[in-house]
Amino acid sequence: MKIIRSKYAGACYGVERALSLVDEAANLTETVVHTLGPLIHNPQVVSELKRRGVEEAATVAEIDEGVVVIRSHGVEPAIIRQAEAKGLQVVDATCPHVSKAHQAARELRELGYSVMVVGERGHPEVEGIHAYAGSDAMVVQDPGDLPEVLPSDKIGIVVQTTQAASVLDAIVEALRARGIEPEVRNTICFATKQRQQTAVELAERADVMVVVGGRNSGNTTRLAQLCREVCAQTHHIENASELNAEWFVDAELVGITAGASTPENQIIAVEKALKALGEPV
């Protein structure tokens, strides 16, 4: 059984930066450090941070003192103002690509566009982008989600950074079919594009595909969906203990990829477990 890792897989720059910032805060401060929500969508990482004394809070109201780390998904501007008003030390670990999406949403709104955010409704990153886009902005997950009556013909689009390009393309085409040429700010980050493209290329060759990352991770879930479209035997796992030997019976080529919130050590653990499965008894 041959095991190949996708050329681009695992933690992206934004996630590594967030981990570095929270690590620095935990090491340098004598006060308690909170992350506002899970720092990244990876349960194992969040558990390790808690073991080190980094607490998680759902809202600023739950934090009385110390440091609050804004997670990589970003937040509404009002939340940062609320934290500063309470005298909390704010460490902003918002991914720079997410910050660009915030800026694009604000610019479109200021230019008079009816802003459409392409992304998962309720996802923390999308909620943050929506705040910059304005209260009247629309969140659209797929072409079927488009409202029958649009607020105007002047539509500006901004995209959740981890969305699949195919979703954006389908929505743009649906708008064009209705006679609307949207102003598109394609804010899908390059790391996401790389991971999706190389994962699909590997999945097309593989007998079995293993996708490593949190089940609450949108970008990892999308990787699994894309791989499953070309490799029916695609399995999304969070850790090596979930591997099932029955998945790999008669498999000649097994591909591995991982979401942008999956650290290197978790990928290596899966690789080692797969190699052990492939060894003759």
Q: Which residues carry out catalysis?
A: 125
* DSSP letters spanning 140-204: ESSGGGS-SS-S-S-EEEEE-TT--HHHHHHHHHHHHHTT---EEE----HHHHHHHHHHHHHHT
| Cα distance between residue 258 and residue 9, in whole Å | 5
In the DSSP assignment, the letter for residue 241 is: G
What DSSP state is assigned to residue 252? S
Measure the CA angle with vertex 209, ends 203 and 215; round to 5°.
115
- Residue 95: helix, strand or coil by DSSP? coil
- Strand, helix or coil at 125? helix
C-alpha 99/C-alpha 74 separation (Å) is 8
Owner of token pair 């991914």: 95
Q: For 258-281, give one letter per residue: b (16+ CB within 10 A) or e.
A: bbbbbbeebbebbbebbeebeeee
Q: What length is written for the chain? A: 281
